[in-house]
Amino acid sequence: MSGRAKLIVVGVILLAALILILASTFKVTETEQVILLQFGEPRKVVNQSGKDEPGLRFKTPFVQNVEYFEKRIVDFDAPPEEIILRDRKRLVVDAFIRYRIIDPLTYFQTVGSEGVARSRLGAILNAATREVMGRVDLVSVLSGERAELMLQIRHQVNRQSAQFGMDVIDVRVRRADLPDENSQAVYARMNAERAQEAQEFRSTGEANKRRIISQADREAAIILAEANRNAEIIRGQGDALAARIFAQAVGRDPEFFSFYRSMQAMTEALGESDTTMVLSPDSELFTYFGTVGEIGVNETETSQRVGGLGAEDIMRMISDLGMTASDLELDVDELRSGMDTGAGANSALEN
């Protein structure tokens, strides 16, 4: 045998030995569980959950093979399902499961693969969700009772999935929405309800506004009427007092009053302008010209009868009007002194 042939034989032997070694060994990591099969029948479970047996293992080549399963917690996102609640509301529930394989042998014998396991879990989750949520109303699903509902679903799913060698760690509802065909109707109804409430608030506010304005107008009218009435009363009393004082003043000396009115008429007629008036010497405007010293000397019988208005009389008339001397800025002492002086002069003239 030549040297080249020997090299080929040695290479073949080494290759066969390598293949034999690879076929007779398998590696197990910390995150894996392994079932050793012989002609498809389970023989041994390596690194099962709860045990720590990673490393290099041996098996019978070409007779035994291995199946690997996840030892870590696995997430399964179930497809959304439409569920009918107790109050006949439809709800689309999107839930997910977190589970762990605790018995690889049972898992392999019942479901065989991860795809089948997910299908079984999805059916179990769907049934449990429909059963639990079918006993409650929409308000309970959207309220704080949701955590309790998830706990009930997890217990049911865990109890049924135990026969597959799985332990369900958690069940959560990621999203719970109304169906698309119902969402628009619900939104429209909510919008209509809010619009109705807003209209009610506006109507109530407008009614309150009109009531307040009407009440304010009525009170203002009452206040103005009372003020006008009081003003007319005070004005009438003042006019009466003025007329009384004027009448008594005229009665004291009618001739002087006639002279005073004649002078007022002349002042208003002539004014401060350069108007020139041509009058007859016997005009009434010149009646008192040339009577110096005669006007006001002797009182008539009428003036003596209506005269004698004293300070107390004036104060009484002011009191009848509901006012005081201070309101008119009237000095009572000065008034009384003046009246006493006038009375003394009249007594002297009479004597």
Last residue of a domain, one of 70, 95, 110: 70
Gap between the Cα atoms of 145 and 166, Å rounded: 27
Between the alpha carbon of residue 309 and those of residues 25, 243, 303, 324, 338, the distances in Å are: 146, 13, 11, 18, 12
Do 169 and 91 share a domain, yes or no?
Answer: yes
With both helix axes pointing from N to C terminus, report the angle between 332-350 and 311-320 in degrees, rounded to the nearest 10.
140
**Tokens found for residue 156:** 């049911």
Do 45 and 82 share a domain, yes or no?
Answer: no
Do 36 and 102 share a domain, yes or no?
Answer: no
The listed range with the strongest mean pLDDT (19-23, 34-38, 115-119, 208-212) is 208-212
Mean pLDDT value across the chain: 76
289 in a domain, yes or no? no
Q: What is the pLDDT of residues 185-239, one digit of tens each?
A: 677 888 888 999 999 999 999 999 999 999 999 999 999 999 999 999 988 888 8
For residue 33, what are the β-bridge partners?
69
Burial environment of residue 41 by CB neighbours within 10 A (0 to 12, 13 to 18, 19 or more): exposed
**CA-based R_g, the chain, Å:** 62
The angle subtended at Cα 280 by Cα 279 and Cα 282, nearest 5°, is: 130
Gap between the Cα atoms of 121 and 110, Å rounded: 12
283 in a domain, yes or no? no
94 in a domain, yes or no? yes
284 in a domain, yes or no? no
Gap between the Cα atoms of 338 and 313, Å rounded: 14
Last residue of a domain, one of 114, 148, 178: 178
Which residue type is seen at 340?
Answer: D
Q: What is the pLDDT of residues 3-33, one digit of tens each?
A: 777 777 778 888 888 888 777 787 888 888 8
Q: What is the pLDDT of residues 48-72, one digit of tens each?
A: 777 777 778 778 787 888 888 888 8
Do 38 and 109 share a domain, yes or no?
Answer: no
Structural domain containing residue 341: 310-351
pTM summary value: 0.47
Do 128 and 97 share a domain, yes or no?
Answer: yes
**If DSSP codes are grouped into helix, strand and coil, which group holds residue 305?**
helix
18 in a domain, yes or no? yes
Q: What is the pLDDT of residue 307?
A: 43
Number of structural domains in the chain: 3
With both helix axes pointing from N to C terminus, report the angle between 254-270 and 180-252 in degrees, rounded to the nearest 10.
120
- SS3 of 169-197: EEEEEEEEECCHHHHHHHHHHHHHHHHHH
Cβ within 8 Å of residue 91, ≥6 positions away: 82, 83, 84, 85, 133, 138, 141, 176, 177, 178, 179
